[in-house]
Amino acid sequence: MMSQLTQVTTTRLGDHLPLLDLLPDANPLSWVRRGEGLVGWGIYATTTVRGENRFRDARNWWHQQLENLSITDSVHASGTGPILFSSFSFSPEEESVLVIPQVVVGMREGISWITWIGDNPPPVLLNEPAPLEELAYSWGDGTLPPYKWEEQVEKAIELIRTDKVEKVVLARDLNATTTSAIDVRLILRNLSIEYPTTWSFAIAGLVGATPELLLRLKHGMVTSRVLAGTISKTGDDEKDLALAASLARSSKDLEEHVFAVRSVADSLAQFCASTNVPDSPYVLHLANVMHLATDVTGAVAESRTHVDTFAILEKLHPSAAVCGTPTDVAGRIIKDLEGMSRGRYAGPVGWIDARGDGELGIALRCGQISGESIRLFAGCGIVAGSNPERELSESQVKFSAMKSALQK
């Protein structure tokens, strides 16, 4: 006797909805940029995966869930139908989180839609915006105090000079506590206002705003935005233009960037009939920093079957932008020198649909919430020309996005 399928329905809504204002305070899910993207709430199903096969295990679990669903989709666009919100760990040993929400609301190019699982459509009500009350945070060092982290950077530079490795990304953390439960919605709203060109994400307590799109797969076209090489902004337009020019000429930053672009291009080439890699990066301007950026694109080869987001993720992660070059050597050095668990920081985060298309960034500029505490993360690419003091300063600048979102 066949078990009864669960109904999934997608239908169009109005022309515009403020996605982040729809979110409830309990376990909100978000992937939003410039007001477009997906938000979700309620849990239809959730699981965790870990180990070297976590991307394949995630695909298998997702497909098992899809087999139990009957989908009615009147919108037929990328991101409609049932959605899997995914937050993968950086390391195979850590836990990755997969969530299929009960309700998803999406918007793209001014058109919005709603997907729900079950027989009865939920009401789509705009919540009263939560007040942006300022919480008082107590700050403390993370795993390593700043001076010790600088020492680890120096050790990484010494290893690079011995030709064992070309680049190593070293991360550090900060801890903050407050007296009330931390509201993810407030952080998302602040980040989306201050950093509108980034992707504001929230999955299972991991919240942040990443400027780095690891993978977009849509109708056989693949895009990956590579960021490596960073300089702080002053807020003075004339000075910042000069700084942008110096970043574009910096041999240290260009070397770091080349490693990152090469690792992504090589990974995508395995799946694509053709790839496009620009000859030189552009400078991406954010509110507090500028990055060297390159958008790598490709067309999936028609001869390749079963190429979905999971398959490409397995080859793309970890890229040189968050690990180093060569990846296996850099990964071992990270384990030896960082002395901390990254958890889901620097792992792929975003969504995947029933077609195998999806959009995932790298979980950067983020924090992991646990009740009344949050752990922030920042990482820096170390190459032969790096300076420990400057790398520490760069990490402080990268922390500032989340720190300001917490304290507004």
Active site residue 389: no
Non-local CB neighbours of 47 within 8 Å, separated by 6+ positions: 61, 98
CA distances, 166 to each of 326, 355, 361 (Å):
7, 38, 24
Under 8 Å between Cβ of 247 and 257:
no
71, with CB counted inside 10 A (0-12, 13-18, 19+), is middle
CA separation for the pair 48, 240 (Å, rounded) = 43
Q: Residue 138: phi, psi to the nearest 5? A: -100, 125
Non-local CB neighbours of 46 within 8 Å, separated by 6+ positions: 97, 98, 99, 100
Closest CA relative to residue 109, chosen from 140, 137, 79: 79
Which of 212, 255, 338, 394 is an active site residue?
Answer: 212
Active site residue 212: yes
Which of 94, 167, 359, 391 is an active site residue?
Answer: 167
Return the SS3 of 127: coil
| Cis, peptide link before residue 211, omega less than 30° from 0 | no
Under 8 Å between Cβ of 370 and 222:
no
Catalytic positions, written as ranges = 167, 212
